[in-house]
A and B are shown apart, each in its own frame.
Chain A
Amino acid sequence: MAEGEKATLIVHSGEFDKVYSALIIGTGALSMGMEVSMYFTFWGLERLKKNELDKGPLSRMNFLGLGKWMMKRKLKKKNVREMDELIKDFHELGGKILACDMTMDIMGVDKEDLREEVITDYCAVGTYIKEAKESDVTLFI
């Protein structure tokens, strides 16, 4: 039984496809009964800004946005749930979203710039290491 098992994800990348993968893995792990924490740092933190979640480019074949436009069309055609819905699902299923304090500092991001309604806490590397040590799955995305 998965109860008590934990997954800890670092979302370092801000690209559309990578943040999508992170959210799918995060909600998937919650659905399988795990506890999940997602740490948003560096370019990943940018995606926690208001109305920025799906604004990153594709990590490959972006072609000045044309690639992303095609990808979004395909996702819609295949009825893949939108990122904004997935982050709400993640939150509803009890997943924790943590924003990296240091990134906020160096990038000049204030709490008011971020989607505070989905953020569980603001933290630094020690919190991540402590959680990662107790985790069965850790990913750096």
Chain B
Amino acid sequence: MTKCEKLDVLGETCPVPLVETRKAVRKSSPGDIIEVIGNHPESKEEIPMAVEELGLELLDIEEKGDQWKIRIKIPEED
């Protein structure tokens, strides 16, 4: 069964949002969705870069003030 994992990295700085996202991806299963919430400005740019490098799917990025929410989907296996 697919699940939605919420990852809170509010107040964290480089490289923690990226590292914690990678840890969550490693623990995930195909079809899972990971929702990362943070406020470190560079990570908003870098997490999508990592998503691309890892061959994952970037669902959307929401912004509210300084906060951002990035949703990532782990691709289903072929």
A residues at B contact (CB < 8 Å): 1-3, 24, 27-28, 30-33, 78-81, 86, 89, 92-93
> A31 contacts B15, CB within 8 Å?
yes
Cβ A3 vs Cβ B55 within 8 A: yes
Query: Which residues on B are within 8 Å of A, measured CB to CB?
Result: 11-16, 18-19, 21-23, 26, 49-50, 53-55
Knowing A3-B55, A24-B14, A79-B11 are in contact, say whether A93-B50 is a contact too (CB < 8 A). Answer: no
CA–CA, A24 and B16, complex, Å: 9
Closest B residue to A78 using CB positions: B13
Known contacts: A28-B18, A93-B23. The answer to whether A1 contacts B55 by CB under 8 A is yes
- Decide if the interface of chain B is mainly helix, strand, loop or mixed: helix
A residues in contact with B12, CB < 8 Å: 79, 81
The 10 closest A-B pairs by CB, nearest first: A31-B22, A2-B53, A31-B18, A1-B55, A33-B54, A33-B53, A28-B15, A32-B53, A32-B50, A27-B19
Q: How far is the CA of A30 from the CA of B53 in the complex (A)?
A: 11
Is A31 a contact partner of B19 (Cβ separation < 8 A)? yes
Interface centre among A24, A28, A32, by most chain B C-beta atoms within 10 angstroms, is A32
- Knowing A28-B18, A31-B21, A89-B19, the reply to whether A1 touches B13 (Cβ < 8 A) is no
Partner of A93, one of B11, B14, B16, B19: B19
Is the beta-carbon distance between B14 and A30 smaller than 8 angstroms?
no
CA–CA, A108 to B23, complex, Å?
Answer: 37
Q: Which residue of A lies closest to B15 (CB)?
A: A28
Given known contacts A81-B15, A81-B16, A86-B15, what 15 new A-B pairs fall within 8 Å (CB)? A1-B53, A2-B54, A3-B54, A3-B55, A24-B14, A24-B15, A27-B19, A28-B15, A30-B19, A33-B53, A79-B12, A80-B13, A80-B14, A89-B23, A93-B26
